[in-house]
């Protein structure tokens, strides 16, 4: 499913394919776990060891506010991801405020990796990572369906071998 992404100011003429919307749920789950790691111990400390100092509840409150802000931005961040397969390069776009557009020529691709951690695997998703001759042009596409990730891997490998510029 291709969507014209009119908000892509870096390449408005490029038709981008968005990542799977299920990535939002995966990122929310991972971020909730990540923010709970500092939050829970701070609450326990404020309720027990620091109970004589009520101002220490500021620490878990600050962590909670930061977590809420971070979690609120995740759906928009996921919607900002997209990729496009052009005749000579793969274009990967991401970012809300600080937008990034990675253009990876097929001939410079040296390795295409498909990964799926426990949360991504449970959602039926994978991440495609492209490694090139230059570290500055590496790119990754998170949250694509496993079938699409395998299709991308096969297609990009064939195109990279056909160009052989990076080897």
Contact 113, 128 (CB under 8 A): yes
Q: Is 150 domain-assigned?
A: yes
What are the angstrom distances between the C-alpha of 16 and each of 5, 23, 111, 121? 6, 17, 22, 24
Give the pTM.
0.84
Write out pLDDT tens, residues 34-57.
999 999 999 999 999 999 999 999
Contact 126, 142 (CB under 8 A): no
Write out pLDDT tens, residues 60-103.
999 999 999 999 999 999 999 999 999 889 999 999 889 999 88
Q: Is 11 domain-assigned?
A: no
Tell me the C-alpha distance between 76 and 38, whole Å: 24
Residues 72 and 92 occupy one common structural domain: no
Q: Is 126 domain-assigned?
A: yes
Q: Is 17 domain-assigned?
A: no
Structural domain harbouring 72:
22-76
**How many domains in the chain?**
2
């Amino acid at each position: 499913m291709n969507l014209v992404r009119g908000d892509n100011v870096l390449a408005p003429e490029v038709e981008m394919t968005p990542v799977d919307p299920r990535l939002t749920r995966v990122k929310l789950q991972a971020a909730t776990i990540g923010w709970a790691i500092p939050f829970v111990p701070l609450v326990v400390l404020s309720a027990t060891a620091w109970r004589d100092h009520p101002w220490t509840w500021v620490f878990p409150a600050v962590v909670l506010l930061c977590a809420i802000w971070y979690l609120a931005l995740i759906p928009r961040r996921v919607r900002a991801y997209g990729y496009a397969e052009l005749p000579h390069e793969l274009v990967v776009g991401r970012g809300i405020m600080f937008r990034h557009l990675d253009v990876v020529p097929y001939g410079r691709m040296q390795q295409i990796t498909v990964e799926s951690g426990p949360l991504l695997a449970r959602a039926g998703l994978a991440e495609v990572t492209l490694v090139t001759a230059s570290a500055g042009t590496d790119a990754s596409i998170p949250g694509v369906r496993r079938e699409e990730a395998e299709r991308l891997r096969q297609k990009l490998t064939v195109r990279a071998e056909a160009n052989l510029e990076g080897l």
